[in-house]
Amino acid sequence: MTLMAFPHSFGLAVWQPLLADHPMTRPLSRAGVVPVLTRLVIEGGEGPVSVRKPVEVYGCYQLGHTLDDVGQVSRILLRMWTRLYAPRSRMVGPPPPGAGERIQVGRAFAEHVFTRLFAPPEQRKVLALEVTGAPRVPETRLAWRPAEALLELPEGATPLEDEWRPDDAEVAFGLAHTDSNQHVNSLVYPRLFEDAALRRLADLGIPPPLLGRRIEVAYRKPCFAGQRMRLHLRAFRHGTELGVTGAFLAAVGARPHVVLQLFLAA
């Protein structure tokens, strides 16, 4: 199962059954407060599976807050997790060993920050949920991981190149890349990044076939149609795995808009 199929599980197992009719959802929407995706982690599991077989999806969510350096509330977060299961199967050819066995095909995690998305910049930050049906400040305290932390290689990793280098192809975003929020859609970045990661590994003498098996994406700042970005990447080896870390940059030396780390396998 490809990694980009997993984010659809959030709608099936969390948004629709758990949050669509929650007492806080409509009041927050009327107040212009929406949860915006800030981090996505997808991890592939076992296989093979067939597209003709059903997939079971289970999900849960958590509300929480973060604190700043002086102990004041700095963000209100919505986190969610899903796990996906399917029978071991194959689309064509003979059945695989263990055909019909229920296996975990993967899992996913998403983190959102509540914001007033279309308000003026100075009014966008949400430090409390001031609506009926929601805790004013969710009691669970959560840690915050800056987007740039993903640029650090995993502990024990061996770099395959000395520094981050720009990808040969510049990215030009169009209307086809955007969603109803008028931002570049969150799933566009990992798709483009996997393509660039495969090019980089091929340049280093590690050609396909490779498939992404785990990806983490940190969304720091949105991109819009008409913007041009350059991916800067660095490949590494971590045990038996290959990995690439990188970021979408508007210019050399600028803070990244989106940071990603991808692990691939044959």
Task: Please report, rounded to a whole number, the percentage of residues in the chain having pLDDT higher than 90.
Answer: 94
Q: Is the pLDDT of residue 180 over 90?
A: no
98-121 pLDDT per residue, tens: 999 999 999 999 999 999 988 999
pLDDT tens digit sequence for 30-67: 999 999 999 999 999 999 999 999 999 999 999 999 99
Query: Per-residue pLDDT averaged across 248-261, rounded?
Result: 95
Same domain, yes or no, for 159 and 208?
A: yes
In a domain, 32, yes or no: yes
pLDDT tens digits, 208-222? 789 999 999 999 999
- Residue ending a domain, among 123, 157, 174, is 123
Residues 70 and 173 in one domain: no
Q: Residue 155: which pLDDT band, with cuts at 50, 70 and 90?
A: very high
Residues 112 and 213 in one domain: no
Confidence at residue 190, expressed as pLDDT on a 0 to 100 scale:
97
In a domain? residue 227:
yes
Structural domain for 115, as ranges:
3-123
pLDDT at residue 207 greater than cutoff 80:
no
Question: Does residue 259 share a domain with residue 153?
Answer: yes
Residues 118 and 71 in one domain: yes
- pLDDT score, position 94: 94
Judgement on whether residues 102 and 169 belong to the same structural domain of the protein: no
The CA-to-CA distance between both ends of the chain, in Å, stands at 14
Under the banding of pLDDT at 50, 70 and 90, the label for residue 182 is confident
141 domain-assigned: no
Residue 136 included in any domain: no
Taking only the tens place, the pLDDT of each residue in 64-93 is 999 999 999 999 999 999 999 999 999 999
| pLDDT band for position 227 (cuts 50, 70, 90) | very high
What is the domain-level CATH number for residue 223?
A: 3.10.129.10
Is 34 within a domain? yes
Q: Specify the CATH number for the domain of residue 91.
A: 3.10.129
Annotate 46-64 with b (16+ C-beta within 10 A) or e (fewer): eebbbeeeebebebebebb
pTM: 0.95
Domain count along the chain:
2
